[in-house]
Structure 1
Amino acid sequence: MLDPRLLRAFVAIVETGSFTRAAGQLNMTQSTISQQLSRLEQAAGQPLVAREARPVLPTPQGERLLGYARRILALHEAAAVALGDPAGSSALRLGLPEDIFNPAMCDIFRDFAARCPQIRLDVTVGLSRELMRRYRAGELDIVVVKEQAAARDCRASFAEAMGWFESAMLARDWADPVPLVVFPPGGLYRDVMFQRIEREGRRWYVAFSGSSLHSVLLGVERGLGITLLPLAAAEGAGLRRCAAFGTEPAMVVALYAWESGGAADDLVARMTDLLERRHRRSRAML
């Protein structure tokens, strides 16, 4: 491995054409810079400058090394600058359901990143139960989750208006067994759907299981079955309310955060404000 300090001495000698001027440029004695060049030549196994020339010139081998040496030194300096830059040096770990991680929420994250470049936002999008498990385990710093009831330590909570949806394009008679479009096992809406239909003494089957909100919306839109979703999540999709199942009790959107004070508090406040506006919009849809 070629030591950058030795390469710097070599480049300075070639660029100034003099051991004396190179030593002055690097704030070294002439004997020190001469020793560094000798060590580099020993590592390279061949002479790199013609010492007898005036000005001092690189040998053919030195000319070949010169370009590489300059690139190595430039990369070395760039790495030192990067390591000294505090941007992204600490992380704030967030977890959100897919329908909450929307353009408006991403805009909040963008503004926060611009104000606090030293903090990197590590965002996980997933099912609420898994996000809450990870939060309780200390793996996430801030989470927004869907629950049937918020815990006492939540920072904010809002009622989440729910509704049963079917395709707005394809009319069907939902006779037993009822085809359902669901999220994977562990999804909160999935369990509530099964419980509601079973309470009514009806039969059901899973017609389609989608791993994302987009896939569930598309499955319902194309007539694969019915589903239960927050009103806000279905907004703008090709769905309509399914009259066969009427209304459903609201769930809760809750925000939790371990940290109190500092930059995270401002982020929590802005996220809370967005969730409140989302809540008002969903109430207007009832």
Structure 2
Amino acid sequence: MHGPLDLRLLITFVHAAHSGSLSATAVQVGRTQSAVTMQMQRLEEMLGQSLLHRSGSGVRLTGSGERFLAHAERILKMHDEAVSAFSEKGLHGSMVFGSPEDYLISFFPALLRSFGTKYPDVEIKVVSAPTAELRALLQSHKVDLALVSTPNLNDVETIIRTEPLAWVGSKPALELHDFGDTVPLALPASNAMDHRAAREAMARAGLRYKISYASNSLAGLIGLARSGLAVSVMTQEAVPPDLHILNAPLPELPHLGILLAFADADHQSPAVAAFADHVRAVLPTL
């Protein structure tokens, strides 16, 4: 290896490893794609190892790249910790935060506004995905921390808040929708907790239903509910004021617990730890 490692090269490499695209990395680090390509070539020359497989569809890590990624992330984390500890300007750093879409709409603006006022030099990038996908993103370290849902309300030590699920329609009562004896439902993907909760509740109640529409977007589900063509399910806090929460004869839906999950629970950067503490303090009050 020739000379010390350049932190700028490590930052670019970590972005490329997580995004799988040199063009996306160029946008993230504020450089041209050709400059990013040269940086990666320079890093590979310094290490004497090929770190990235390049193809028309993007880049992926080689075996050496997989091993080096852990070292690069650890070096950058230690750098951020050192800067934060000795900077007169307070906390610095960046993180990738994940959340289901309904929690983002309901809670994230207030969380970000209050955290940003206190720590203006912390950069937060946001990924919106269902809990099942967020778990995978955490495991692959593409997200640093995330709000996720759990149906297990007994885990009181880690649950920050509980949210009731609600049936949502365009009219204030199910009978006014004139659906007949089979209720059309608009639900998210089958691996989503509210999808399973809706189907299980209808089955327990012995009510006839059909899944008429599917959308992984909360905006899509809201639009379908507004159309009057189906009943949807979402967390109660996410229900817009022009739609109605429906009760009997529809069965009661469960509550979901909201908790924080981490890519690395034992080694959090100061920025991630500070935001996690802020979420735990503020989310129950919103």
TM-score range, shorter chain: 0.5 to 0.7
Amino acid at match of 1:276: P
RMSD of aligned alpha carbons: 3.2
State how far apart, in whole Å, the 2-side matches of 1:103 and 1:251 are: 15
2:193 is aligned with 1:179: no
Alignment of 1:94-105 (within 5 A): 94-102=97-105, 105=108
State how far apart, in whole Å, the 2-side matches of 1:112 and 1:249 are: 31
**2:106–2:238: 8 Å Cα contact kept in structure 1?**
no
2:272 is aligned with 1:264: yes
The equivalent residue for 1:147 is 150
Amino acid at match of 1:223: G
Query: How much has 1:114 moved relative to structure 2?
Result: 6.1
Change (3 A) 1:154 1:212: farther
State how far apart, in whole Å, the 2-side matches of 1:260 and 1:154 are: 19
Change (3 A) 1:102 1:200: closer
Amino acid at match of 1:265: A
**2:202–2:251: 8 Å Cα contact kept in structure 1?**
no
2:132 is aligned with 1:132: no
Amino acid at match of 2:255: A
Amino acid at match of 1:202: L
**Residue from 225, 238, 243 that aligns with 2:243:** 238
Tell me, what secondary structure is at the counterpart of 1:244? Answer: coil
Structure 1: where are the runs of 5+ without partners?
1-85, 279-286
**Residue from 187, 198, 206 that aligns with 2:203:** 198
- Range 117-126 or range 244-253, more displaced: 117-126
2:281 is aligned with 1:273: yes
Once the two structures are superposed, what CA deviation does each residue of 1:97-139 show, in whole Å capped at 9, x if it has no partner?
A: 1121137523533554565565432210111111122223433
How high is the sequence identity, in percent, across the aligned residues? 17
Amino acid at match of 1:165: V
Amino acid at match of 2:226: E
Change (3 A) 1:92 1:246: same
Give the TM-score, by structure 1 length. 0.57
- Greater RCO structure (CA 8 Å; 6+ sep): 2
Amino acid at match of 1:275: L
Structure 2: where are the runs of 5+ without partners?
1-86
The equivalent residue for 1:229 is 234
The equivalent residue for 1:66 is none
**1:153–1:256: 8 Å Cα contact kept in structure 2?**
no
**1:183–1:209: 8 Å Cα contact kept in structure 2?**
yes
Change (3 A) 1:185 1:236: same
**1:105–1:271: 8 Å Cα contact kept in structure 2?**
no
Once the two structures are superposed, what CA deviation does each residue of 1:217-239 show, in whole Å capped at 9, x if it has no partner?
A: 12112211112222111142422
Tell me, what secondary structure is at the counterpart of 2:253? Answer: strand
The equivalent residue for 1:120 is 123
Q: How many residues align?
A: 193
Query: How much has 1:151 moved relative to structure 2?
Result: 9.1
